[in-house]
Amino acid sequence: MEKSEALKRITELSELIRHHNYLYYQQDAPEITDFAFDSLLKELEILEKQFPEFIDPNSPTQRVGGEITRVFKSVKHKYPMLSLDNTYSEGELKDFDNRVQKILNEPYDFVGELKIDGVSISLTYESGKLVKAITRGDGVQGDDVTTNVRTILSIPLALPDNEYPAEFEVRGEIYMPRSGFDKMNQQREETGEQIFANPRNATSGTLKTQDSSIVAQRPLEAFFYFLAGDGIDASSHYERLNLLKKWGFRICDIRTRVNNISGIIDFINEVGEGRKHLDFDIDGVVIKVDSIRQQERLGFTSKSPRWAIAYKFQAEEAITRLLSIDYQVGRTGVVTPVANLEPVLLAGTVVKRATLHNADVISALDVRVGDFVHVEKGGEIIPKITSVNFSSRHAASVPTDFISVCPECGSELEKIEGESAWYCPNEKSCPPQIKGKLEHFISRKAMNIDSLGEGKIEVLFDQGLVRLPADLYDLQYDQLLNIEKVLPGESGKPGKKISFREKTVENILNGINNSKEVPFERVLFALGIRLVGETVAKKLARHFVSLEKLLNSKYEDLVQIDEIGDKIAQSLLSYFAADENINHINRLIEAGLKMETEADETTTRGVLKGKTFVVSGVFEHFSRDGIKQSIEKNGGKVNSSISSKTDFVLAGENMGPEKRRKAENSGVKIISEEDYLGMIGPEISE
């Protein structure tokens, strides 16, 4: 192909892909299949490799990242990003309304928008192309995170038409949807990585990650709420939001325009009632005078605009004393600090403990034993310390130094470069790591030996009967009968008593024996290989079919598999290179565990081929995981959230109201369990 032809085709493909991205992410109305879209993208990638001189920084192929940013350059904002005045009361909202009325002395409208709990971002576009992405910083200047922002699929790199000014700025909030955050944390927990505290922290940390390819893998999204520049053909804020949406930016559709403050208060109350059903976190509502002319008349104080205010929802908070800090060791050796608190009532429950996450958090908060600390429930579930009441700190308080040795085995702790967690490296002898690996092995998504739950693994470990998963398959009836142990409770008090009577022992041995029927992909997950979670284990099992072929694979074979990158490949090779791991696997093989994928597991019936489902609720004939496995077995695909690509929402009892609302608004068909069984025909359910 001649260079001129190549440039023409690259330009055509780039515009076509941007068009379909716009339809998918902004309009929720795709015109082509995923396969057709991927084919266009692949063709563009091939051409850009052949003609690298034609690669545009805003090309759709550049979304995957890969650039390393050692230092984030500080850049001054063209328009200062001032903070908003906050209020928590209706009375202060009415005071704000009175101030606006006094200055304007003419009719005006308010716009109410959700206050997304994310990271503020300012994007600059020139000739319709993204040239710069700057964090809020101190409002005057922020960090240049353009390389990372380019990887976020819902942010347009180049706009589809020429109706926009030559240069303009758009501001918004980058956030992580709750569903994506939960799925990411679940995968990190399965693979032994430190989980994130909350979506906002995950978003903030991701945006400052040095490797943009990691950013590309995180489920970041963005909503936009502000447009500035010369020659903008829109005289009100509400019209500018619509203009941004037309240009291809994601605008939150939960907003209102009213002509009095009482309408805003009604909107706030409505949002407050419904926010628990949203798939993203908000911490309030932003109220703005709609007219740009009136905004200019109202002007600014030294800190904030006079034409806007943020009503913030009151997070339930308590203040209590930090009594001590414990350090817990997980199955992968990660050491997590946990705060012991004076009991305090918070969101209807008594809170005695709160996570401190890692050494960096302790340092950032400067939290010390004896301090009075502010405690909130992150996401209204997990207690967290948000700040310290320094005014009440005792003069003799001592800074908290993170421990340097493992609290369980005394080994020197280690830290992996680029990670915040400290690890105990003694995985072979550290008791909580050994017990953690055993508990992972018997867990529901692994070998599913539920008869060994409720502290029985701890008893078997303490009795010296089990140290490796393979030891479970050597257990005998006489070894287990009449074992008794009282587990430790809180504050050193006696806890639950575990007794191994006849029926208990029979159930344990039956459960262990039944686990020999667990499919290979779950056996592979049960091994607890670092970074090999449930999804990765499934991909490996289906690709290699047998453990023997996996053991004989090379680095090049591994990284060719979808979602298997350098770190996972290295982790697998390191695990299988250790003689003790191979010896352990050989014992599991001798015990009769499945180490290859059976024929009926490698093929599907295909009756649901090309159909995508979202599952919600409780089912009569299936467990939640069971119905997902059934969908995949029959050729279908399961997603966690509803999108334009969703064909059916499979609704059980107690379906989530937010999923039902979104399905109805999107026109996605909601089917029952009976409808589903009719689609797949005869099948043995769980």
* Positions marked catalytic: 115
Task: Please report, for residues 433, 484, 487, 494, the alpha-carbon distance to residue 490 in angstroms, rounded to integers and kept in the order given.
Answer: 21, 19, 10, 8
- Give the C-alpha separation, 606 to 103, whole Å: 67
CA dihedral 199, 205, 208, 210 (to 10 degrees): -120
- Through-space distance between the first and last CA atoms of the chain, rounded to whole angstroms: 56
Contact by Cβ (8 Å): 124, 149: no
Q: What is the DSSP code string of 5-61?
A: HHHHHHHHHHHHHHHHHHHHHTSS---S-HHHHHHHHHHHHHHHHH-GGG--TT-GG
CA–CA–CA angle 496, 501, 503 (5° rounding): 115
Measure the CA–CA gap between 109 and 92, rounded to whole angstroms.
18
Residue in this structure with the two tokens 């979808």, named with its chain if needed = 562
How is residue 332 written in tokens?
């992968």
Whole-angstrom distance, CA of residue 584 vs CA of residue 579: 9
Q: Which tokens is 596 given? A: 């290859």
HEC sequence for 607-663? CCCCCEEEEECECCCCCHHHHHHHHHHCCCEEECCCCCCCCEEEECECCCHHHHHHH
Judge whether 268 and 285 are in contact, CB under 8 Å.
Answer: yes
Tokens representing 87 are 């209020």
DSSP string, 321-367: EEEEEEEEE-TT-EEEEEEEEEEEEETTEEEEEEE--SHHHHHHHT-
What tokens appear for 508 in the block? 């344990």
518: three-class secondary structure by DSSP = coil
**Cβ(421)–Cβ(448) under 8 Å?**
no
Tell me the C-alpha distance between 406 and 395, whole Å. 30
Q: Where are the alpha helices (DSSP H) in 349-430?
A: 359-365
193, two tokens: 């990585």
Question: Which of helix, strand or coil describes residue 412?
Answer: strand
For Cα atoms 183, 361, 284, give the angle at the middle one, nearest 5 degrees.
65
What are the tokens at 139?
């409002």
What's the Rg (C-alpha) of the chain? 28
Distance CA 559, CA 549 (A): 15
* 478 φ/ψ angles, rounded to the nearest 5 degrees: -65, -30
Cα–Cα distance for residue pair 446/520, rounded to 1 Å: 10
Kindly report the number of other CB atoms within 10 A of residue 68's CB atom.
Answer: 11
**Residue 530 near residue 571, CB atoms below 8 Å:** yes
The rounded distance, in Å, linking the Cα atoms of 170 and 156 is 11
Strand order from edge to edge, sheet including 119-126: 129-135, 119-126, 167-175, 221-228
Q: How far apart are CA 77 and CA 171, in angstroms?
A: 11
Name which of 592, 593, 461 is nearest 527 in CA terms. Answer: 593
